[in-house]
Amino acid sequence: MTGRAGGAGRTDGRTGRVAVVTGAARGIGAATVLALAEQGWAVLAVDLARDDPALPYPMGSRAELDAVVDAANRTAGEVSAYVADVRDPAELAAAVAEAERRWGGLDAAIAAAGVIAGGAPLWQMPPEQERAVLDVDLGGVVNLARAAIPALLRRPRPRSGRFLAVASAAATRGLPMLAAYCAAKAGVAGLIRALGAELGGTGVTANAVSPGSTDTPILAESARLYGLPAADSFAAQQPVHRLLDPGEIAAVLAFLAGPGSSAMTGSVVPVDGGLAL
């Protein structure tokens, strides 16, 4: 199958645009699936959907992934679940191939899968936790780029593909006891800038968002690592004096996935409640 699935002239609210979103079971990934579906996208919602023995807190579950898909399919979009590990390039390549097979092509790939670990200086951090953070938070973005960008480029000209990633305020702030996480997110920001340069003139762009303290399971785990009573403890560090909602980050990702971002590439957009000020 070639060309855009559905295309112009649809009357069911769908745009004919297709996305792959990783980390889709919860947090920013789940909110992004919902935001795109509400705008009429077809979305392959990708998640590991099981716990990681290297990490001391629960990952998103298959039940959570299915709940996101069910909610998204009650909107204007068409969403399917897909279980894959972003650390495995072959699994992500298969996910991209499934999106192309199902809907005829790919218009956006959004790397939202992320984990956190730390709570100790880097030299005391268990090596398996360090590897998990680097391999998911940076390696997973690289793996999605390698799988998805060729698919974005397979769209005929004039194309408007989007490769997007979730960085973090930790990309530019040195956070004690989270050195691996800071390193991974700084790597994501550098990767996006390089991809923006490499993709120049192709019609495909690369951008990222850099969230502040957002009400997600990662922030809850961060609070535990710092010995704080709850994630709300982080609200005071942001000028908006509250935690951000995942939907607020997803709204910017949905904008970046759409035509309005056509003049942007290589950008890392702060969506941080002023945390970086």
> What are the catalytic residues?
181
The rounded distance, in Å, linking the Cα atoms of 92 and 105 is 15
The rounded distance, in Å, linking the Cα atoms of 50 and 112 is 16
The rounded distance, in Å, linking the Cα atoms of 86 and 79 is 19
ω into 158 cis (within 30 of 0): yes
The rounded distance, in Å, linking the Cα atoms of 275 and 238 is 5
CA dihedral 81, 26, 63, 226 (to 10 degrees): 140
The rounded distance, in Å, linking the Cα atoms of 254 and 164 is 10
Q: Which two tokens stand for residue 166?
A: 């979730």
Coil, strand or helix at 147: helix
The residues, ordered by sequence, that sit 6+ positions from 92 with a Cβ below 8 Å of its Cβ are: 22, 46, 84, 86, 143, 144, 146, 147, 148
